[in-house]
Structure formats: structure tokens, C-alpha cells
Structure 1
Amino acid sequence: MSLALLALGCSGPVVDTGEPPVTTKTTPPSPAPPQQPRVEHQVNGFDYAGEVNGATWYFFTTPSGRWECAIVPRVTAGCQAAGGQSSLGITGAPDSVLDATGEESTPNAIEVPRDGEPRFSAVDPPGFGLAEGTPAELPFNRVLSVAGFRCNVQEATGVSCMSDKSRQGFTFSAEGFTPAYVEVPADAP
């Protein structure tokens, strides 16, 4: 009997103070990391490495030679018209963007930063091209996947780059721009 009274004595009255109950905030799970490109489609990043101010960047040109692109490790991946042309010539590109100084400029590049959405930008020469020489060609249906980014070139869709962290990307050709990465098909040669 004393055990039963002891158990009843431990439970006291519930007091309502009028304050909302304490809840714990849960964060949604992070999205699954992007699937790695098929091994047979990947190229060796070493073949595309170049030095810029003591840092390694990865440069490539498209098979047509029309576009030059670079992956700046853990910062951005972007492309521009080869030869330092002042305009991209992409259908649907904006007429102007803000440059690094905040001034209106004609966009001459397209890029995807590590943590942001793809965007058109105005970059000073050499921008995403090599200061001297021509970058190595990235063949059709091959993927350059280095330093938190991946890029590929496909005959049907054009150039495509993506941030592995944000999973944001772009695909473009002279005919237009899409704010999404297009993976090389598994059955591509």
C-alpha cells in the first residue's frame, strides 16, 4: 500500500502557465549528393589544369572552338565566347548585367557559383579563358569533374556545368540557355 501512495505522490498537478509548449526545431535532411558521372565519361582533370596567380584552375574549350570555359575550384564554373569577344551571342541573354564594380555592362560570360544560381556576368579578360594559349578541348560526351563542379559538352544540348554543392547549373548553346545541368546520357559513346 505504501508503494502505491508513493507512486501517487510523485505525480503532481499539471499547471498551465498559458505559454506555448517548447518545441524542438528540426532541419530537413540535406539533398542527396549528385550522382557521380560514369567513369567511362570522365576525363583526367590534370590534363585541363592551368595556373592563375599561384592557384590551379581547370580550363577547356569546346570541340567547335567557339567557347572557352573554366572551373575555379570551390568558387565558380563559367564559360565565355572564345577569343575574348565582348558578347556571348546567346539567344535569351540579357542586354546588360552589373559588373564587379556595380556598373551596367554587356554580359560576356555565363557562370554558376558554388552556392548560387546560374547567371550571366561581365568578366574582365581573360575571364574564363587562359591568359596565353588555348585550353585543351573537352570532347563531346566527356565530363570534367573537379573541385566541386562538373562540366560537359554534348552535340545535342551544348555546354553544361553544375555546382556539386548547390546542384544548380546551366546548359547553353548559341540557340539558348537553360538554368539546369544536363548529364551525359549513360549510353553515350
Structure 2
Amino acid sequence: MRRIGCATAAIVAVGLLSACGSGEGDGPMATIITDRPTPISALPTTAGTTPTSPPASTTPPASVTTVPVTSPPPPQAVSEKYAGKAPGWYYFSSPSGKFECGIAVLESSIAGCHGSLPDSAPDVSDSGASGTTVKPNAVQLIAGSPAKFETLGDPKFHRFDGPAAALPYGEVLTVPGSGSSNGLQCSVDEQAGVTCTDQVGHGFTVSTEDFDLR
């Protein structure tokens, strides 16, 4: 029994030596991989390529509108039918004949009217007697100053060299002044009466029944 055990052990030992031996045996050798694979960190790029830029805007540029600069029209000449013989004086009457009015281009232009002033017009200082008041006989506007009622010894807005032409309702008589704020204009309304104004907002409106001074 011992002899059989030894023989068997010898046979097993020979088998192991044949399998492991010195590497010169005919059996296949096991392959051991020692290099680790390189991890993929980025996608490969193709040589010569550049990042794609966003497409250019196709919105057309805003159009520019050019507005021509025009000079103001020259003032129209005042109709000769209103011109008096004295240079710079113009006269008119209301179509009803209740008011006679005039415009004069002076160093400070003036406009005014005589006529059937309303009873509500306030009394004014009498130019001939100090300290007394009388009913006014005119309303007057000096360009650049508020209009006011006055008593005038000389009816300066009455045309003495002939009848004053009637200014039709709705028509505006404009007389350019000697400066940018020295012009005057007047018109007549059938209900409101005569209105005269300067270029800076002063003026008057007067009828036989009412008035407004500004």
C-alpha cells in the first residue's frame, strides 16, 4: 500500500512539472494584460475645423425719414383798402357799423376801437380832470401790455380822411409789427364783437353788451 501511494505521488509530481515546467512545453501559455485602457475624455476633433458662429442677423436696418426744413411763409401784405394816409395806420369798421377801429405800427404798436361800449365797462380816470372818473370812449391795446378802457380826447381810431372799410365777419386783419412781438391782428365776430390781440397773448374782445380784457 505504501508503494502504490508513492508511485501515485510521483506520477502527479511529474504531471505538474510537465504542465508548469520551464515554458518550453507544447501547451498554450496564459496572456496577462498589464496596461490599463486610456479613458475617453473628449470627442475627437477634425483638423481644420472651427466652431460654427451664429448666422448673421437678417433684420433690415431701420429706415430714416428726412423731413425737409422749410422757412416760414413771408407775411402777407395788408390790403390797401384798410390803409390810411398816415404811414403805418390801418382802419376798419365792424359790418354793423357799431365800432370804428384802427391799428398803428409804431415803436409800440397799438390797436383800439371807439363805439357802443357796453354799460358794464368800468369808469376810467378823466384825462382832463384830476381825481374824477368818467365812462370810457375807447378800448385800447398797446403791444406787450394788457388791454384797457380809456377816455381819449382825440378819437384816434376814427378815420378822418374817408370812411373806414368794413372788416367782414371771420376775416382777420394782420399787421406785422416792427419786431418779433410788435405785430397785431383784429377780427370781427357777429356775436362776440371785435377782437384784437398782440403776439404775446394780450388783447380785448368787445361788443355792445360784453367785454373781455387780457
TM-score (norm. length: structure 2) = 0.55
Helix, strand or coil for the counterpart of 2:84?
strand
Q: How many residues align?
A: 132
* Contact 1:171/1:178 (8 A) holds in 2: yes
Query: Pick from 90, 96, 100: which aligns with 2:118?
Result: 90
Name structure 2 gaps, 5 residues minimum: 1-71, 177-182
Structure of higher CA gyration radius: 2
Name structure 1 gaps, 5 residues minimum: 1-35, 82-87, 181-189
Please name the residue that 2:197 is paired with: 162
Please name the residue that 1:78 is paired with: 112
Whose strand fraction is larger, Structure 1's or Structure 2's? Answer: 1
Q: Distance in 2 between matches of 1:77 and 1:146?
A: 10
Q: Does 1:175 align with 2:200?
A: no
Residue deviations 1:61-111 (CA, integer Å, cap 9, x gap): 000011000001142100001xxxxxx431321123343886744310001
Q: What's the Cα RMSD here?
A: 2.5
Please name the residue that 1:47 is paired with: 81
Higher relative contact order (CA 8 A, sep 6+): 1
Q: Distance in 2 between matches of 1:176 and 1:65?
A: 17
Superposed displacement of residue 120, structure 1: 0.2
Q: Distance in 2 between matches of 1:162 and 1:136?
A: 20
Superposed displacement of residue 146, structure 1: 0.3
TM-score (norm. length: structure 1) = 0.62
| Letter paired with 2:136 | P
Please name the residue that 1:60 is paired with: 92
Helix, strand or coil for the counterpart of 1:110?
strand
* Contact 2:82/2:91 (8 A) holds in 1: yes
Superposed displacement of residue 127, structure 1: 1.8
